[in-house]
Amino acid sequence: MMRQRLVWMVFLLVGSFWSGCGWLDEHVDDGPVSCADLCNGRECGWNDGCECGSCGMGETCNFANKCESTVDCDSVCIGHCGYVYALGCDCDHCEAGLECGNDNTCVDCAWKCDAAGAECGNVDGCNCGGCPTGSSCAADGLCECVPNCTGQLCGDDGCGGECGECEFGGCLPDNTCPPCAPQCEELECGPDGCGGYCGPCEPGELCYGELCEAPCAAPVKPFSGNLTIVESLALGEGSAAGEALDVDEDSGTCSPAYPCEDGQDNKTSEFLEQMSDFVAYNSEMPASPGNDGRHQLLELPAPFVPGAPITVHLYRGKPTPGCDVEATSCPVLVDAHGLDPESCAPRWKLEGETTSSELTAGGPGNVVPWPVHIGLFQPVVMHVHNFAIAADVELGDGGKVFSLQGVIGGAFRLEVALEAWEKLPEEAWTDLGFSKEMVQNLLEMFLAPDIDTDSDGLPDAISFGQKFTAGAATAAGLYSPVSDGGQQ
């Protein structure tokens, strides 16, 4: 009994101690202690299940949970220089004439840079120097000039080159270009050299070249009634019959040379065959090549008499509003520039002959404005030498021409073509997928002249063939595309 009483007294005393000290209540109320508290003042190691950090390379965690180095920097710095970041050792500097390289060893950098021929940049951990302002270090370790054309349109780029060329006049002292000065002193009308026109002409006059003259007196020139409008144009393929004509009237020569049939010439086709490895081309041509609504017009005598000599007149014109060029006898307005202002006679005509259903006209000596197409750009109207036509003729009632289908042949001067293409908008070149300079080089490389048009024995023009169709039309009147100096 005495023993049981002692046990209960011990429990009562312990309970009073716990209650008086408040340990039990505090432990329960505060909850578990955080790792931040348990790791306070410790750099590494573990404490009551919490990781307090880790040491870096060459260090170890001691019993006080502190990181201490295990690296012998004296040993590390034997043969090394500079700060060895991986081991945390700051070693001595190199002797005079040597530099501390990227591998923390002393090297003769002057010798290395000289041996490599470098004046800048980094060679095997050696800094060979920097470049002065206005230049940069190239991959070969040499300083090269950096062109600077900021705020300049022309003039020196600081490196011996030019920032650009001025289209009109020379570069001004402030490295800008002078504005274009229209050249109209001796011109009544026509292009002013700056993209505009001189003039305008007086009411009732048209521009012929550089002079303003009264147009053809007849309000509607007495056309023969056999007027046709070109409905479609396409590049001929090769030098086979039906694709090209004998432009130089030499049946023994062809372009391309093989296969050769009756001397047909179509150098443009050979050029496109070569260019097809570089760019895509389109052999089809728009019926209105200049995108201005104007078509080529061909006029034959009326009535058409098979077997008789023939004169073909050439004009340009545009269909009247609402006219379908493929409809029968489409009414068209004829460009007055195609008529002599005094006599009303056509300015361009071809002499030829006919058979029962065919006509041929033109040839060497005939120069006619006509759209030239090489498949890469939009067609450009330029003067075509040795212009010729061969066509099948479909007749209607009373000898009236219902339709024509045949081939146009001729040759154009490369320098004239390059000048015309140079004026095309920038997108005409960039749409090809190459720079303008590259396309120009390809043109000059592959587009070689094959026709002698001035009888000096040397080829000076490039032959082409065009397939065409034309339908019946009627003349509804005359008009001038640009009365103050439009293109002829």
pLDDT digits (tens, 9 = 90+) for 344-368: 888 899 999 999 899 999 999 999 9
Angle at 464 between CA 461 and CA 469, to 5 degrees: 145
pLDDT for residue 327: 67
Q: Which residue has the higher pLDDT, 331 or 284?
A: 331
Please state, for a pLDDT cut of 90, what percent of the chain lies above it: 20
Question: How far is the C-alpha of 385 from the C-alpha of 359, rounded, in Å?
Answer: 19
**CB 488 within 8 Å of CB 436:** no
What letter would DSSP give residue 399? Answer: G
Mean pLDDT of the chain: 81
Q: Locate 269 and state its tokens.
A: 């086709």
Location of structure tokens 């021929």: 117
Task: Give the mean model confidence (pLDDT) for residues 67-79.
Answer: 82
Q: Which residues are CB-contacts of 369 (< 8 A; sequence separation ≥ 6)?
A: 316, 348, 381, 382, 383, 384, 488
pLDDT for residue 393: 93
Binned at pLDDT 50, 70 and 90, residue 415 comes out as: confident
pLDDT tens-place string over residues 301-325: 877 888 899 999 999 988 887 777 7
Binned at pLDDT 50, 70 and 90, residue 220 comes out as: low
Question: How far is the C-alpha of 457 from the C-alpha of 460, rounded, in Å?
Answer: 9
pLDDT for residue 245: 93
Q: How many CB atoms neighbour CB 343 within 10 A?
A: 10
Task: Give the mean model confidence (pLDDT) for residues 137-162.
Answer: 90
pLDDT tens-place string over residues 434-475: 777 777 787 788 788 999 998 898 999 999 999 999 999 888
Whether residue 331 has a cis bond before it, omega within 30° of 0: no
What predicted TM-score, i.e. pTM, was given to this entire model? 0.58
Q: Which residues are CB-contacts of 219 (< 8 A; sequence separation ≥ 6)?
A: 477, 478
Location of structure tokens 């004998």: 246
pLDDT at 264 over 50: yes
pLDDT for residue 24: 39
Location of structure tokens 């295990």: 70
Number of helices (H), then strands (E), belonging to the chain: the values are: 9, 27
Binned at pLDDT 50, 70 and 90, residue 272 comes out as: confident
In the chain, where the domains are located: 147-179, 184-214, 226-479
Report the largest interatomic distance among the alpha carbons of the chain, rounded to a whole angstrom. Answer: 161
Q: How many CB atoms neighbour CB 102 within 10 A?
A: 12
pLDDT for residue 351: 95
The closest alpha carbon to 409, from 439, 442, 447, 450, belongs to 450
Residue 382: in which H helix or E strand, if any?
A: strand 380-395
